[in-house]
Every structure is written in C-alpha cells, then in structure tokens.
Chains A and B, each alone.
Chain A
Amino acid sequence: MVEPLVELKGVSKSFGSKKILDNVDLKIYPGDALGVIGPSGTGKSTILRIIAGLLKPDAGEVYIQGQKRQGTIEEGEPSLGVGMVFQQSALFDSLTVDENIGFALYRYSKLPPKKIRELVERKLEIVGLPGTGDLYPAELSGGMRKKVSLARAIITDPNNPDNAPCMILYDEPTAGLDPIASTRIENLIHDLLFKQGLCRAYAIVTHQASTIRLTTERIIFIYQGKIQWDGKREEAYVSTHPLLKQFFSGSIEGPIP
C-alpha cells in the first residue's frame, strides 16, 4: 500500500470566533495533482498554510512523509520538504532574480557562487526565463514573477538531495494573469511533476477553470470548513452534487449564497 506524502487527521482551525476548518481529514499521495477548490473564505489557503507549516492547527495532526509536524516553521520546525509558491509571488524586491532563486543555496550550501549561478540558470531555462538572472523583480511582469517564484520552489542543492521538495503547494498561481500567461504557468506546473519529475505531488488552490482543467487530476471541494467532495476531476465536472454543480456553472442559485 502506498504511503501518503501528506496526511491531515482531524484538523480544525479557527480565526477568532470563525471556524475555518472543521475536523478535516485529507491524504495526498505521490503523483497527486490535487486541486483545492471552493468558494472564497472557506479555508482553502488555510489548508495549504497548515501543510506548509506556516499555521498551526487548533486541533488535529499533520504528517509529512510519515513525520508528524510538531509546530510551525516560525517555532523552528523544518519545512519537511514542502515548497510553496505564493499568490503574490513573494519575491524579495531588493534581490535579483538570481539571488531570489538561489537564496537558500547562497545562504546555507557550501556550493561556490559560480555553481549556484549555473543551477539557477538551469532552473530559469526550465521555467522559460533564460538570461533573466540579473533583473530585479520590479522589472518582471506578473507571469514572469510567478515563474521565478516557481523556480525558487524547485531549486535544490545537488549535494543534499534529501532537501529536494517532495511536494509543492500553489496558492492561486494564475490569479491576476491573462489567459495566455495562465496557460504557460499551468503547463509548467503540470510538466514539473509529470515530465520533469521535480516534485512528487502538488496541491493547487485556484478559482480558475483553466487551471483546474490543465493542472489537476484530483479535486477536493471545501465548504463550511469541511471537505464536501473528493474525487477525480472528470467526475467533478459531471457530478450532481449541488455544491459542485453550482460552483462549475457559476450560478447564483444554489446552496452557496
């Protein structure tokens, strides 16, 4: 039996008096291309942040590759091989593209700077931005910033392959992009797992129909703090579940107000 890469057991999280996640159980397996969908404010990003170790659940347990998360990264917990691409790209404005992508390697690896530059350039080629290492984030378009952010999430120290990301979390990676730039990012996300093998699974929070279609194979639908539906993407499109029907049709008539 295949062991899950990520497992949430009975995870709950509230912000103030508002319960965002309510006793959520979730398993993400190697090869999973998971789409996390649902209306705004239902805890999709919260799930990602709990898996990433940026948030601590109020109740429940989180396991990454069989290892239990004891706290948040802020409290000193390691990332446990989980990488994250943020909605706003989160590139460091004062650093060049090269310094952004190679940030962890420049700070913590014993690799010479020249070698790191080569590794960065290779990742830039993978994401389709060769020769942009000397630019600053302010000089990049929204799509380019997302790609740089992606390159930063997948770069690893060849002398320390254990630190390679087992899973990448994407928080609305195509939000605010035009359809062509979105498609480029979506193809890239898909290829990183299925062609390049640079991660073992990924989870995407998105509202975009094209992102769901081009990047996900499995979908979970979250509403009122619970996973209301979990299954294959093709089944989601034809499901008679009232939440899914309303979500995919974009209708204002239905259980979601």
Chain B
Amino acid sequence: MNRILSSSGLWSWIQRSWAAILLSGKAIFFLITRKLDFSSSLEQMMAVGPASLLIALVTASVIGMIFTIQVAREFLQLGAGSAVGGILAIALARELCPVMMAVVVAGRVGSAFAAEIGTMKVTEQIDALYMLNTDPIEYLVIPRLVACCIMVPALSILALFTGLTGGLIVAQMYGIADTVYLDSIYNFLDVWDILSGPIKGVVFGALIAIIGCSWGLTTRGGAKGVGQSTTAAVVTSLLAIFVSDLFLSWLMFQGLGQGATMIGQ
C-alpha cells in the first residue's frame, strides 16, 4: 500500500497538504500575535492586485460576454429577455467572478510564490533567514497571505462590474435595451449576492497563498524540485478553489432562490 502511495506521488501530496494545514495554523497564530510588516504586505499586494488587473479584467469582460451570448439566445426564445442581465449578474457575483479571479491569481501569483520560496529553500536562503533570527512564516508567508486575502476579493468586485459591462455590450447586440438589462440586474441581485463574491475571494486568496507558500517551503532537490513544486502548487490550488467553492456555495445559498420569480416581471 505504502509503495503504491509513494510511487504515485500521493503520499508526498498528502504530507505536503498536511504541512499546508499546519502552516495555516501557524500563520493565523502569527497574524494574531505579531506585528504586521506593512511595507512588505503592500509590496505583495502590488504583485497580486495591480499586476493581475489587466488579465483579470479582460477575463471577466470576456466571460460576461460569452455568458450573455448563451443566456440571451435561449431566454429570448422563451420571451424572458428581461431576465438576461439578472441571471448574468447572479452567476457573476456568486460564482464566476470569485472563482475566475482565484484561478487567474493561482496561475499567475500562486505559482510565483511556490517558485520563489522553493528557490529560496533549495539555495539555503530559508536557513539563512533562521540564522538571522527571522521566521520565514512571518517574513514570507504573512505578507503574501494578507495580500491575497485583500486582493482576490477586490479583483472579484472589479470583475463583477467589468463582466456586467461586457454583458451589456452583447445584450445590446441581441436587442435587449440598456434599461431592461440594468433593471433586471437591480431586481435580481441582492446585497448577499454582492457580498458572497468577496467572502469567497477571501477564502480562495488564503488557499492560494498558503498552498503556494507551503509547497515552496517543502521543496526538495534542485531546479527539478522547484519546477515540481510550482506545478503541484497550481494544481492543488485549483483543486482547493473548486472544492471549497462547492462547500461555500452549499453553505451560503441554502433553500430555494428568488431569481426565477422575477422572470417576466
């Protein structure tokens, strides 16, 4: 059994996942007990947020457009064109924006965390930090964690507006009036829908930072080990984002929705 686990890499993945869970606990402890390094956190925020902005906004607007194409052509057949904006808004606010922004950040930033920290690990820089009486969790992990927990929700909010704007452009092409589209969004979307995206964004941001940093800190070997950690960190982050989204959606949206009752109004 052990041989099967280790030859498939599953045993290593389980060990690293456990290390990531332990790292989460330590990070929370450090966040509570130690002073936050604002300049380092700000530096990481710039790397996570503004540096991801263009790709995030392009992704959001394109997804808004694609979603509107598919919804508009079906709903217009049903005579429910007035619901297109609302359905798009619900999908973007609750699921698409936080998940897509998390995917973008995991691919762009989570991989960079794993590669940078992994390189530091194999070139003894992490040991050097210890010798300088500096805990790598405090110096490397906390600023990245704070940056992701702030910037992924912020990107989700921006993506919602960009996605809706993209949807508006496509809706006009299908003959849906601006006022109908915007009224639909206003009627369908409630405060909880708008809040759910950033709340999910905080969780996804924490997962991306912890997994990226933990996979980096547990890197072994040389360049090959860094490469493997980087790939594994992205794959694990994506898996964690999708699985946690399932649980978050289940917890946050229990019972029946009110959206369908608005169709035709």
A contacts, CB < 8 Å to B: 49, 52-54, 73-74, 78-79, 82-84, 86-88, 90-93, 103-104, 107-108, 152
Contacts and interface: CB of A to CB of B under 8 A. Distances in A.
Contact of B133 (A87, A91, A108): A108
Contacts of A108: 133
A54 B130 contact: yes
A86 B128 contact: yes
Contacts of A74: 130
Interface string B117-132: 0011001110110111
Contact of B124 (A73, A78, A82, A90): A90
Interface of B: 119-120, 123-125, 127-128, 130-134
B133 A79 contact: yes
Contacts, number: 47
Most A C-beta atoms less than 10 A away, residue of B119, B124, B128, B133: B128
Contacts of B125: 90-93
A79 B135 CA distance: 12
Contacts of B130: 53-54, 73-74, 79
Contact of B131 (A84, A92, A93): A84
B124 A83 contact: no
A172 B39 CA distance: 35
Nearest to B37: A107
Nearest to A74: B130
B123 A88 contact: yes
Contact of B128 (A49, A82, A92, A107): A92
B51 to A, nearest CB: 15
A229 B133 CA distance: 34
A49 B128 CA distance: 11
A43 B123 CA distance: 19
Contacts of B134: 103-104, 107
B123 A79 contact: no
Contacts of A79: 130-131, 133
A65 B250 CA distance: 59
9 contacts: A53-B130, A54-B127, A79-B133, A87-B124, A90-B125, A93-B125, A104-B132, A108-B133, A152-B132
B124 A88 contact: yes
Given A78-B133, A79-B133, A152-B128, 8 more contacts: A73-B130, A73-B133, A79-B130, A87-B124, A88-B124, A90-B128, A104-B132, A107-B134
Contacts of B132: 103-104, 107, 152
Nearest to A105: B132
